[in-house]
Amino acid sequence: ETNTLPFHPFENQQGDILRVEKEHQVLQEQLREAEEKFEQSQSRSLEEIAALEGLLKKSIEETEVSKNELNWFHQDSEAQMKKWQQEKKENKENLKALKGTAKKHSDTNERYLKTIDDKEKQYNSCLNTFLETSNKFANEKSKLEELIKKSQKDSQECEKRAVKAEISVLQTWKETEIWKLKGTIAKAEGNLRMLKAVSSSASAAPVLKSQIDSWEIFISNVKKQLEKVEAEYEEKIELVKNGSRNCLSKVEIVDFPWP
């Protein structure tokens, strides 16, 4: 009777205690496996976050460099434009002075024609001076035309560099925001995997279901935000390439609260 009858109140029938002990051992093994999976998932998530933070830091540094280059390009363009305008003003004044000189010598030549017999030498001297002035005017005009062509070419080059710099800044902003959102997605997916692993237990599943649903909705919203950011930055880059201005602004990011 000692080893054949149930041990009340702990057993309703023979072997209940042994069966409970076996179930307890199985549950302990499942708990140990779940803890190992959680530690592995947490380690991978930390490595991914560290890598993404490094990429984010590098992207911010490149953005600052691109901003400085863009400022340099604008300053150089403004300096070239002011220099060209000043030279244009000076050349215009020189041209006006040369015209006055030419008219003065022309009047002098007409007066000398009346006394050509007596003042032939003076007439020839003035004529030579007139020819030198004319040649000088022609040379100045040629130089001015070359300067205008060069200034126009420099202005076009500066505009191309400015467009390239704006595209670089927009591309850097786009990559930065994408890296941030991808980092958020990676971290959220790690949490979701952990919850799903823990929820494999029948007793924990009902408790964790609402949390799992919240994390899945959060991940879906962040992915939609990622697609929206990428599309809007691409649209801005295309507008800049097509000649549009005032496109150098960041895309608005919606900060979804973490579950």
Give residue-wise pLDDT tens across range 47-99. 889 899 999 999 899 998 888 899 898 899 899 999 999 999 999 999 999 98
Residues 195-205: pLDDT tens digits?
A: 888 877 656 56
Cis peptide before 259 (omega within 30 of 0): no
- Highest average pLDDT, of 103-107, 152-156, 187-191, 250-254, comes from 187-191
User: Considering the domain boundaries, does residue 207 fall inside one?
Assistant: yes
User: Considering the domain boundaries, does residue 20 fall inside one?
Assistant: no
Name the pTM for this structure.
0.43
Instruction: Find out whether 6 and 16 touch, Cβ atoms under 8 Å.
Output: yes
User: Considering the domain boundaries, does residue 145 fall inside one?
Assistant: no
Q: Of 177, 176, 182, 174, give the one whose Cα is nearest residue 45.
A: 182
The predicted model gives 117-141 an average pLDDT of: 81
User: Considering the domain boundaries, does residue 171 fall inside one?
Assistant: yes
The predicted model gives 136-161 an average pLDDT of: 87
User: Considering the domain boundaries, does residue 182 fall inside one?
Assistant: yes
Neighbours of 255 (CB within 10 A): 7
User: Considering the domain boundaries, does residue 226 fall inside one?
Assistant: yes
Share of the chain above pLDDT 70, in %: 92
Encoding tokens for residue 206?
Answer: 């009902």
pLDDT band at 228 (very low <50, low <70, confident <90, very high): very high
User: Considering the domain boundaries, does residue 181 fall inside one?
Assistant: yes
What is the number of domains present in the chain? 1
Q: Of 134, 107, 136, give the one whose Cα is nearest residue 123.
A: 107
Q: Residue 1: what pLDDT?
A: 47
User: Considering the domain boundaries, does residue 40 fall inside one?
Assistant: no
Q: How far apart are CA 25 and CA 38, in angstroms?
A: 20
Q: How far apart are CA 179 and CA 226, in angstroms?
A: 9
pLDDT band at 117 (very low <50, low <70, confident <90, very high): confident
Q: Residue 120: what pLDDT?
A: 75
H/E element, 68? helix 16-114
Range of the domain at 210: 160-242
